[in-house]
Amino acid sequence: MHKIIDVEFEADVLDANRRIADDVGEHLDSHGILSVEFMGSTGSGKTLIIEKLVDHLAKNGKRAGVIVGDVAGDDDYRRIKAHGAEVVNVNTGKECHLDAHLVEHASEKIDLDAIDCLIVENVGNLICPADFPLGTKKRVVVISVTEGDDMVRKHPVIFQIADAIVVNKIDLAPYVDVDLKVIQTDLKRIAPHVPAFMTDAKHGENLETFMDAILDE
Amino acid sequence: MHEFSVASSIVSSVAAEAARRGASRVTDVYLGLGELNFLCMEQLVYAIGIISEHTALEGATVHIENRPARIRCNSCGYEGGAQHEEFGEFHQSIPLLSCPSCGGSTDILEGRECEIVNATMVMEE
């Protein structure tokens, strides 16, 4: 004999990450640290923007800590380290995104009393990071024109949940037959309330405007 | 592509509950999937099938209820569903997070979840 039972769960699988993210956020707040996550495509310029942000902070007498996520390697770690920031490298191995648990552990390796701003660079990916907030105060998504003019409408949600959007490498638009207006029109329709910055990070165009906005608490 | 890790959490949660109750197997698992998360239904069901081999969930049917987004306007207080924009060329429908009533910015109330709602288990007597 056997009987059938119905068991209620009502448990959100993604909620476990969100709870840890909330803890991370509170912990960083308690140290008076502004925290910013950079999500975005592979090769969109996230690391270069972070390098420049570290320099920008230093120029204003502020110290940065950086957590760098990549599937493998320490290329980004070495680039950012050269700018004098305290950097922790996180290799995810198989996962295509960081999660709050990884960030919680990585942040334990940084002296939080010695920094003013914690920057987290997620793995290059426009999909998965949207489901895994890390606990930072702000989330920035970076794309570049070289990926084509359809990136926004192909990945709407990540733009909708971001606090700021950077469209980078605008100087290259004419060489890759991309009309920046198409991207801007998509952004206006899909994420009209999220501030968007058109930058050429390499040569510095509009970068200061973006950095001042993102560091403004 | 994080269906595999999410599927793994689902299987281990349900299997642990089945073990706790002394159930011999799980025949059905009911999930609620919000339209604003990035989980692909087919891949999720496939991954659960693979991961549940040799567990109490082996062979269980996975039922998925798709849940629409619910938003709240920061300006006019509208609370309800989001408007959608159809993109014929991409065969997709995009939820727009502006307020359908006044166009203001909104907060997401529901639609990002991946919830284990309930499961049917068999108890041997």
Determine, for residues A8 and B117 on separate chains, whether the beta-carbon distance falls below 8 Å: yes
What does the domain layout of chain B look like in residue ranges?
3-123
Chain A contact for B97, CB < 8 A? yes
Tens of pLDDT, residues A112-148: 999 999 999 999 988 888 889 999 999 999 999 999 9
**Would an 8 Å CB–CB cutoff place A93 in contact with chain B?**
no
Separation between Cα atoms, residue A190 and residue B84, nearest integer Å? 10
Q: Does B39 touch chain A (CB under 8 A)?
A: yes
Confidence of residue B90 (pLDDT cuts 50, 70, 90): low
- List the CATH code of the domain at B3-123: 3.30.2320.80
Residue A185 has pLDDT above 80, yes or no: yes
State the CB neighbour count (10 A cutoff) for residue B7.
24
Q: Do A154 and B90 touch (CB under 8 A)?
A: yes
Q: How far apart are CA A89 and CA B91, in angstroms?
A: 39
- Selecting from B10, B17, B120 the residue whose C-beta is nearest the C-beta of A4 gives B120
pLDDT by residue (tens digit) across B39-50? 889 999 999 999
Q: How far is CA A22 from CA A18, A65, A123, in A?
A: 6, 19, 20
3-state secondary structure B4-45: HHHHHHHHHHHHHHHHHHCCCEEEEEEEEEECCCCCCHHHHH
ipTM of the modeled complex:
0.81
CA distance A108 to B119: 38
- CB A14 to CB B85 under 8 A? no
Beta strand A164-168 with A34-40: parallel, antiparallel or unpaired?
unpaired
Query: Does A56 have pLDDT greater than 80?
Result: yes
Residue B91 pLDDT: 60
